[in-house]
Structure formats: structure tokens, C-alpha cells
Amino acid sequence: MHGGRDYTHPVLIDDEVTKRLHALADLAPLHQPLSLYALGEIRRALSDVPVVACFDTAFHATLPDAAATYALPAERRERFGLRRYGFPLPLARPRRPPRGRTPGNRPRPPAPRGLPPGSGASLTAVAEGRSVDTTMGFTPLRGRDDGRAGRTGRAGVHRRSR
């Protein structure tokens, strides 16, 4: 489920949270509506049980501005909420940090990790257990970068055209 900028940690679901999650549906048009449908069914069937949502975008909430910011005018980024959100990497596995240091005694840079196969292929740089860069973007439809500045993918264009 897409948490947008608002939800970067697990949250107890209530009517207000559900309403805000519906407003984010265009950020993950293939995933969010189905997740919200399932959420509604669970809340109806188990009305006395607290329901907590955990967000696919939470791992990448730690992206520094340099990694999360698209090469677009600031006014447009703010008006349309355009930023790199990043999405989960089911195939990313923890690995030992690289041993030693680089020449000049500098720490080694974060290594790219996570190479899911198929059209959703992406790369993620992880440092000290936190996402510091990713090729995933504004929506789950965006994968590896093709080198063109400001590329948000199809959903970013749709959001700007509304």
C-alpha cells in the first residue's frame, strides 16, 4: 500500500486514515484500490479487531533530498507532490558490509542491491540499513532510470495533467 508523504510508519486504521489512503490511489493505481478493497472487507468482517497498515513506501522514506527530488521546477514538484517514493524489493537480501576501506582510507560507498527480474527491475543503495537511493520512482510503474532528467513515469504525467 502507498503511504505517500503522510504514512512512513505502521498506522492504526480508522475512517480518516482510510479516506486519506483513498486520496493516494493515483500514486499506485494498480495496487492501492485492491489494497483498500481488502482493507474494507477486513474491517467489516472483523469490526472489533484493530487493523494496522504497513506501507510499501516506508523503507524508502529515508531517501535524502538529493535522491528523492526530481529535476523539475520546485513549484511543480510541490504543487503535484512529485518526488521519488521507492517501493519494496522482495528479492533484496541482507549481506555482509564490504570489508576494509577505499584507497585514501574513505568508507566504501553504498552498494546497489536488489535486482528483481522483469519489467519492474530496479536498484537500491542501502547504507547502514537505510535506503539512500533507488531507481524506483513516483509510482511502482517506474523502474531503472533511462538517463533523462525529470522522468516520473506515466502516472506522474497523469497526475500533472489533472
For residues 124 and 133, the answer to whether their CB atoms sit within 8 Å is yes
Higher per-residue pLDDT: 30 or 100? 30
Question: What's at 86, amino acid-wise?
Answer: G
Q: What is the mean pLDDT of residues 28-36?
A: 88
pLDDT, position 10: 92
To the query of whether residue 15 is one of the catalytic residues in this protein, the response is: no
pLDDT, position 16: 96
Catalytic residue among 6, 26, 56, 146: 56
Separation CA 27–CA 42 (nearest Å): 23
Q: How confident is the model at residue 148 (pLDDT cuts 50, 70, 90)?
A: very low
Residue 42: is its pLDDT beyond 90? yes
pLDDT, position 1: 80
Beta-sheet strands, E only, within 17-158: 52-53, 111-113, 124-127, 130-134
Q: What is the mean pLDDT of residues 61-79?
A: 87
- Based on its alpha-carbon atoms, the radius of gyration of the chain, rounded to whole angstroms, reads 18
Nearest CA to 35 among 44, 45, 25, 46?
25
pLDDT, position 160: 45
Torsion of CA 79, 80, 83, 86, to 10 degrees: 150
What are residue 118's phi and psi, to 5 degrees? 90, -170
Residue 59: is its pLDDT beyond 90? no
pTM: 0.63
For residues 2 and 32, the answer to whether their CB atoms sit within 8 Å is yes
Residue 152: is its pLDDT beyond 50? no
